[in-house]
Amino acid sequence: MNDVLYEAQTWLADDPDPATRAELRTLIEQADRGDADALAELGDRFSGFLVFGTAGLRGALGAGPNRMNRSVVIRAAAGLAGYLNAMREPVTGGRHRVVIGYDARHGSHTFAMDSAAVMTGAGIETLVMPRPLPTPVLAFAVRKLNADAGIMVTASHNPPQDNGYKVYLGGHDGGSQIVAPIDAEIASYIHDVHFTAHIRRASDGWTEVGEDVIGAYVNAAAAVVDSPQQTRNLRIVHTSLHGVGGTSVADALARAGFSDVHPVPEQAEPDPDFPTVAFPNPEEPGAIDLALALAEQTDADIVLANDPDADRLAVAIPAREATPDRPRWQMLHGDEVGALLGLHLARKAGGTTPGTFVSTIVSSRLLGRIAESHRIAHVETLTGFKWISRVPGLAFGYEEALGYCVDPESVRDKDGISAAVLLAELAADTLAAGSTLWDVLDELARTHGVHATDQLSFRVEDLKMITDAMRWLRRHPPPELGGAAVTARHDLREAATGLPPTDGLRYLTADGSRVIVRPSGTEPKLKCYLEAVVDVVDDDVAAARAIAAARLTALRTDVAQALRL
């Protein structure tokens, strides 16, 4: 108890934020009086520093080293500045240049300003976004402004009590998010910072990014369509889920020729409390209910939904057959959207070679088949856009978790805004041809087989449960999954897979199914990615889909049993 209280008192003396100082002082006083809950809370907050990894920082707001707060952010900024000054040559040959963006979450603007003060104090040219803006705009600015690094203060689609800190690198990293071992190198500089009081923070000297840069991003997002400004007949409902993407999406769609756009009014303005959703992630049940209701009222053709920092895109379209016991609208799976975008870009290439299509090992294998049929190279990477964005010649990349990169020359990261514009173009073209996106998906199934995907996740309180489950699975590999014999087993920690080592297991079965089991990189979850592939016989797509659905159900059952969770 004394050790924790001593650490807390030391941290309190150095904390520059009156709000977190008051919060921590109250906890210390309660723990000093013997309050077991307060002592346990202190124990958690001082169990170690919030880990700086390839996703940067992300965690709950609050006082202490294991929370997101000004002290932690100032240390992170100082560590990044130290890394840049010691390990990287400036892109422009002069001073290092850093661009800082932020969303509308609690603390985001303050964390951005603290970062600007630290960077400027370290002699780095610092450019700050003029207002809360989407993550893709920051990623664009890193490339546009020839920056050495970019900082985005956001927790993406995490709960309201969280915030985070993403880092991008320019130069030979091309504006991509950091990867190992760079994360560990930056973390080592962060660990060398012991007191925020010792860090030089400038009171001014940074520059506000001009509106011309934001305008250039919107123009680039609109330019992913053919003949921007051409009027397109498509009624769109859009929700930004209380995030910062609303204005950018509306502007990009307008410049691309989409004038019939209806934002969800209750969710259009940024609100860090996300009052209309239980969880600000468009994948979560109920998150886009207001958008679907508006789509019904307006007789819309499509619903487009972004997460709060607008780097992801969710899509819903009218269901194949509306019945009283079946929802009128249906959300497309991330793999379905990835396949649609990939097909659209392949067709737009018109037989030329646009570059390389990229998907992650947990995404559907359908994109690979689409690429092969159009004589386009295809590569699989580990999960995360930090890997996708680094593939040489990248033309299009996606991961099943609603992330799509459709314009890598502008943004080397997932971008829910340019993806929304491109998907809208495909939907409008399809509608003009008297068809639907379901028809396009059926066409893909006839050509390449039904590729049905699903996910099974286990959220845990104790991370040791994930470690134990992975160890058990390695020692007791299942001989069959979903009623089919396992024909190949790959431990993704081994170099023989041709990928950087990662904690994961991949199984292939005799009937073409695939299962990948891996711990989540951002949440206390064990994730299992399932895919069943079924050829279409006698043009009966519905029958093939039914077989694939049954195989997925069987895979879910067998994987759950194999993991003993």
Instruction: Say which CATH number the domain at 223 has.
Output: 3.40.120.10
Q: Read off the pLDDT of each residue in 368-373 and give the average, rounded to a whole number.
A: 98
Q: Please tell me the predicted confidence (pLDDT) of residue 294.
A: 98
Instruction: Say which CATH number the domain at 496 has.
Output: 3.30.310.50
The residue to which tokens 């920092």 are assigned: 309
Q: Could you tell me if 143 and 234 lie in one domain? A: no
Q: Could you tell me if 167 and 56 lie in one domain? A: yes
Q: Read off the pLDDT of each residue in 130-137 and give the average, rounded to a whole number.
A: 98
CB 442 within 8 A of CB 357: no
1: pLDDT strictly greater than 60: no
- Mean pLDDT taken over the chain: 95
Q: Could you tell me if 27 and 151 lie in one domain? A: no
Whole-angstrom Cα distance, residue 329 to residue 7? 53
Which tokens is 341 given? 């975008």
Q: Could you tell me if 112 and 43 lie in one domain? A: no
Q: Please tell me the predicted confidence (pLDDT) of residue 520.
A: 85
Whole-angstrom Cα distance, residue 357 to residue 377? 6
Q: Could you tell me if 176 and 271 lie in one domain? A: no
Q: Is residue 485 part of a domain?
A: yes
Q: How many CB atoms lie within 10 A of CB 541?
A: 18
Q: Could you tell me if 196 and 291 lie in one domain? A: no
- Using alpha carbons, select from 455, 330, 446 the residue that is nearest to residue 400: 455
Q: Please tell me the predicted confidence (pLDDT) of residue 254.
A: 97
330: pLDDT strictly greater than 80: yes
CB 114 within 8 A of CB 132: no
Q: Could you tell me if 237 and 186 lie in one domain? A: no
How far is the CA of 211 from the CAs of 98, 127, 175, 208, in angstroms? 17, 12, 20, 9
Indicate the angle between helix axes 246-255 and 211-222, nearest 10 degrees: 50
Final residue before a domain boundary, out of 291, 312, 330: 330
Helix (H) or strand (E) holding 488: strand 484-491
Q: Is residue 225 part of a domain?
A: yes
Final residue before a domain boundary, out of 300, 315, 330: 330
Q: Please tell me the predicted confidence (pLDDT) of residue 321.
A: 77
Q: Which domain holds residue 279?
A: 217-330
Secondary structure E strands in 132-284 = 149-153, 162-169, 176-177, 207-208, 236-239, 261-263
Q: Read off the pLDDT of each residue in 91-105 and give the average, rounded to a whole number.
A: 95
Q: Please tell me the predicted confidence (pLDDT) of residue 54.
A: 79
CB 165 within 8 A of CB 57: yes
Q: Could you tell me if 33 and 106 lie in one domain? A: no
Final residue before a domain boundary, out of 308, 330, 352: 330
Q: Could you tell me if 246 and 315 lie in one domain? A: yes
Q: Please tell me the predicted confidence (pLDDT) of residue 12.
A: 97
Q: Read off the pLDDT of each residue in 47-74 and give the average, rounded to a whole number.
A: 94
Q: Is residue 229 part of a domain?
A: yes
Whole-angstrom Cα distance, residue 452 to residue 333? 9
Q: Could you tell me if 57 and 203 lie in one domain? A: yes
- Using alpha carbons, select from 391, 319, 321 the residue that is nearest to residue 174: 391
63: pLDDT strictly greater than 70: yes
Residue-wise pLDDT for 437-492, tens only, equals 999 999 999 999 999 999 999 888 888 899 999 999 999 999 999 999 999 999 99
Q: Is residue 495 part of a domain?
A: yes
Q: Is residue 288 part of a domain?
A: yes
Residue-wise pLDDT for 214-230, tens only, equals 999 999 999 999 988 78
Beta bridge partners of 527: 457, 518
> Sorting pLDDT into bands at 50, 70 and 90, what band is 351?
confident
Q: Could you tell me if 112 and 149 lie in one domain? A: yes
Q: Is residue 114 part of a domain?
A: yes
- HSE value, Cβ hemisphere, 13 Å, CA-based, for 246: 19
Residue-wise pLDDT for 287-301, tens only, equals 999 999 999 999 999
27: pLDDT strictly greater than 80: yes
Q: Please tell me the predicted confidence (pLDDT) of residue 542.
A: 96
Q: Could you tell me if 63 and 178 lie in one domain? A: yes
Q: Please tell me the predicted confidence (pLDDT) of residue 228.
A: 81
Q: Is residue 190 part of a domain?
A: yes
Residue-wise pLDDT for 501-523, tens only, equals 999 999 999 999 999 999 987 67
132: pLDDT strictly greater than 60: yes
Q: Is residue 409 part of a domain?
A: no
564: pLDDT strictly greater than 90: no
Residues assigned a catalytic role: 156
Give the whole-number percent of the chain exceeding pLDDT 90: 90
> Sorting pLDDT into bands at 50, 70 and 90, what band is 324?
low
Q: How many independent structural domains does the chain possess?
A: 4
Q: How many CB atoms lie within 10 A of CB 401?
A: 20
